[in-house]
Copies of this chain bind each other. A is one copy, B any other.
């Protein structure tokens, strides 16, 4: 692992364990240089990463300060699937059914979007989230088969992310999300209890591994009235 990542990990671990408590000031860059036997640029790169990930805040001329932990954890929620976050927010349970589970070759639009070879083998999964007796969310997942081998319908019914991280031991790095309203499609009408709604809120999700390779593309399609998203942003 790169040196600046090692420094990042060690400092992050100290913050999580409480050895570096919230509100406290980190040692200066010069001190960290000596402590880790690294150049200042390398130390700075680790600190930049910590700030980007919400662990610390740098103040020109003052120092680097540890942020409160609750905000960090909130950030962690961000990468988990929306339906799960949504469920925990409402304190109710959502029932998931796997509506479709296929192995396909990547269609051209997806291959281009994910920067894959045409014809790459993929899993395509449709899952419906039922809340209070109504189907309100449709998740369509595409996974690269090579990167996420051994996916089954049983896993899909449980938690795919848990499988990826704990069973396969893959490290998820980041996800790009986009939220927008779209016209209802024929598939939406089949899978969801739409009533008279003509639009759905669509969350597209491109998820990347630590090495920067994209292993997933997902569309999460929500009925308008059952959609809610919240987060905390920092300067």
Contacts and interface: CB of A to CB of B under 8 A. Distances in A.
Given A54-B176, A176-B230, A181 B224 contact: yes
Nearest to A178: B230
Interface residues of A, number: 33
Most buried by B among A171, A174, A230: A174
In the complex, the 3 A-B pairs of residues with the closest C-beta atoms, listed nearest first: A78-B233, A179-B229, A181-B224
A233 B207 CA distance: 9
Contact of A231 (B171, B173, B177, B227): B177
Contacts of A225: 181
B180 A235 contact: no
A61 to B, nearest CB: 12
A76 interface: yes
Contact of A232 (B172, B176, B224, B228): B176
A233 B178 contact: no
Given A71-B174, A199-B199, A199-B224, A78 B180 contact: no
Contacts of A224: 181, 199
Nearest to A230: B178
Interface of A: 52-54, 71, 75-79, 171-181, 199, 201, 224-225, 227-235
A228 B175 contact: no
A75 B234 CA distance: 8
Contacts of A229: 178-180, 229
A158 to B, nearest CB: 20
12 contacts: A52-B52, A52-B234, A76-B235, A78-B234, A78-B235, A173-B235, A174-B235, A176-B232, A178-B228, A179-B230, A181-B225, A231-B231
Contacts of A75: 233-234
A13 to B, nearest CB: 14
A174 B78 CA distance: 15
A54 B175 CA distance: 12
